[in-house]
């Protein structure tokens, strides 16, 4: 859950700290007070691109941060580790974003991250639903995602996708071979043959590249290496004051000491090892010097060979392995082009066999989806009844289609709001109030399977009111039993259902506008609900009505 949201110098917000509680958090206030700024700040933290114009007038930067307390951090940690960052400890996750006129700096637990990291975290942390997001319900692709999310069809869907990817690859190969004129095919053959021949002629290997780079570095520093090796050899073994001379003198002295000191024999043995080591080092230095080829001919060959490696990597891959893998791919394509007719016959046979496997996997996936569709229809219909559609009916219909990456099924959500009405596709519903309630019903049903901890509803109750508003509030509170909800609302019926109630207001001081957020208590909450009730009621009547509404919700909880 989100424990605290901090905003500084964002639009009309000067310095604001907002705490949220478990369950349903309702956010109310006059139009223009800045309620949507809270959601906007959260969107920024979850990877939305920054608009520099949002920085408060007269300030050079703005900052937003959120502290999350996660009872289950598995999904968040999986994202962080996958993208090369440290997992959060104890379920504590702090996201901070600083925005200036020139740049944006993003931090997760004080570690710099990219916008992509914030977006990926947003996918597992917060489900945002704005006033127009219900339109996504009309998209058949989104409808299929909802069906799969509800039914947990991952196993069947992954099996299908695996065989479909193989099938699609074969189809792509056939299309490449069948497309274009004979002249174009010949040009492609020549083009691929040139590349393959260039790589083969170079005779690349990872081991040789390493040797060439090492030898080139040694040859380029040959004079310095010879000088230092000679100095080391002389210091160890040549002339007066060398290490070998000193060790030899010590060996003679220990031989003379041995009859008098028992330990001298041990010291002599250790000294012999040191003398042997010195001799071996000298021989190695001399061998290195003798084996170092710094001739102009050798240097020229190393330069040319190194250039070959660098040129081919620049043209065909970042590493030798990638260049060689690319050559293998081109050889296979070249073989297919040169033996096009025969290869097409082979590929067609492969395609038919793979299509059969796709159809078999697609049938298994469809059977699972049909089972899930019936259950989803029942659950959403029940949820809609609790939102005022007592005689409404929701239906999920599957239709066969040609194989695509998502399966062999088309899906259509249908809805009949009232008894005796014909079932119509959801996309044909004109009332935004109806579609908003359908979206809430879907969200409520999916919440039981959804592991995303925070749901945000920005005016999902638009264009509804009265008793239906109360039903919407109760449904939101119900979802709040398993998730934290943040809900911006203009309906007192919805606001009365919140476990935590935050009121947003603005004031003007010295010509500047300031947004404030207050946590309402038993005394101030009825006053805010009374303001929202407004209408033709007098102040005392509205206040009494507000107290009754809160009392009813308290009994409901």
Which pLDDT score is estimated for 557?
Answer: 47
Quickly name the fold that domain 1-131+453-520 has: Rossmann fold (3.40.50)
Give the per-residue pLDDT at 248. Answer: 75
Measured CA to CA, the distance from residue 248 to residue 263 in angstroms comes to 18
DSSP per residue, 175-230: HHHHSS-HHHHHHHHHHHHHHHHHHHHHT--HHHHHHHHHHHHHHHTHHHHHHHHH
Q: Would you state the pLDDT for residue 421? A: 76
130 φ/ψ sector (left φ>0, alpha ψ -120 to 50, else beta): beta
User: Using one digit for the tens of pLDDT, what is the confidence trace for 341-375?
Assistant: 788 888 999 999 999 999 999 999 999 999 999 99
* Residue 286, pLDDT score: 66
Write 464-472 long-range contacts (CB < 8 A, 24+): 464/433, 464/436, 464/437, 464/491, 465/491, 465/493, 466/493, 467/388, 467/493, 468/387, 468/388, 468/433, 468/437, 469/493, 469/494, 470/494, 470/496, 470/497, 471/386, 471/387, 471/388, 472/387, 472/437, 472/440
- pLDDT at position 101, please? 82
pLDDT for 292 equals 61
Model confidence, pTM:
0.64
- CATH 3.40.50.300 residue ranges of the chain are 1-131+453-520
Residue 68 has a pLDDT of 94
- Which parts of the chain register pLDDT below 50? 536, 557
């Amino acid at each position: 859950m989100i424990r605290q949201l901090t905003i500084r110098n964002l639009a009309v917000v000067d310095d604001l700290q907002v705490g949220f509680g478990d369950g349903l958090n309702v956010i109310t206030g006059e139009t223009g007070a800045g309620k949507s700024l809270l959601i906007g700040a959260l969107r920024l933290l979850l990877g939305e691109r920054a608009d520099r114009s949002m920085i408060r007038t007269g300030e050079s930067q703005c900052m937003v941060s959120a502290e999350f307390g996660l009872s289950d951090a598995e999904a968040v940690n999986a994202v962080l580790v996958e993208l090369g960052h440290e997992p959060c400890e104890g379920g504590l996750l702090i996201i901070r974003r600083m925005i200036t006129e020139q740049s944006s700096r993003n931090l997760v637990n004080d570690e710099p991250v990219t916008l992509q990291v914030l977006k990926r975290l947003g996918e597992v942390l917060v489900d945002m639903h704005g006033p127009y997001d219900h339109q996504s319900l009309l998209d058949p692709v989104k409808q299929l995602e909802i069906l799969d999310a509800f039914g947990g069809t991952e196993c069947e869907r992954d099996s299908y996708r695996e065989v479909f990817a193989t099938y699609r690859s074969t189809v792509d190969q056939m299309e490449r071979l069948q497309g274009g004129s004979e002249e174009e095919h010949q040009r492609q053959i020549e083009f691929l043959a040139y590349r393959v021949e260039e790589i083969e002629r170079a005779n690349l290997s990872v081991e040789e590249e390493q040797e060439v780079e090492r030898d080139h570095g040694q040859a380029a520093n040959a004079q310095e290496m010879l000088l230092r090796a000679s100095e080391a050899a002389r210091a160890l073994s040549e002339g007066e004051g060398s290490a070998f001379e000193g060790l030899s003198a010590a060996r003679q002295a220990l031989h003379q000491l041995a009859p008098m000191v028992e330990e001298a024999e041990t010291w002599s043995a250790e000294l012999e090892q040191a003398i042997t080591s010195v001799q071996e080092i000298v021989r190695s230095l001399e061998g290195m010097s003798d084996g170092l080829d710094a001739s102009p001919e050798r240097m020229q060959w190393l330069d040319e060979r190194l250039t070959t490696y660098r040129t081919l990597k620049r043209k065909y891959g970042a590493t030798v392995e990638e260049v060689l893998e690319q050559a293998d791919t081109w050889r296979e394509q070249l073989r297919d082009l040169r033996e096009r007719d025969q290869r097409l016959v082979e590929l067609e046979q492969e395609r038919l066999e793979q299509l059969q496997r796709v159809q078999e996997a697609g049938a298994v996936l469809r059977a699972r989806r049909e089972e899930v569709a019936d259950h989803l229809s029942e659950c959403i219909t029940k949820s809609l009844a609790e939102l005022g559609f007592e005689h409404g009916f929701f239906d999920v219909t599957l239709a066969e289609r040609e194989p695509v990456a998502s399966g062999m099924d088309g899906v259509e959500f249908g809805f009949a709001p009232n008894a005796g009405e014909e079932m119509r596709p959801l996309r044909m519903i004109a009332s935004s109030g109806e579609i908003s309630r359908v979206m809430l019903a879907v969200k409520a049903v999916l919440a039981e399977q959804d592991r995303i901890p925070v749901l945000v509803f920005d005016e999902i109750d638009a264009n509804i009111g009265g008793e239906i508003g109360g039903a919407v509030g109760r449904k939101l509170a119900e979802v709040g039993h398993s998730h934290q909800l943040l809900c911006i609302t203009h309906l007192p019926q919805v606001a009365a259902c919140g476990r935590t109630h935050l009121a947003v207001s603005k004031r003007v001081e010295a010509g500047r506008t300031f947004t404030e957020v207050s946590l309402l208590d038993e005394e101030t909450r009825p006053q805010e609900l009374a303001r929202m009730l407004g209408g033709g009621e007098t102040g005392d009547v509205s206040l009494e009505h507000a107290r009754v509404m809160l009392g009813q919700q308290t009994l409901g909880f």
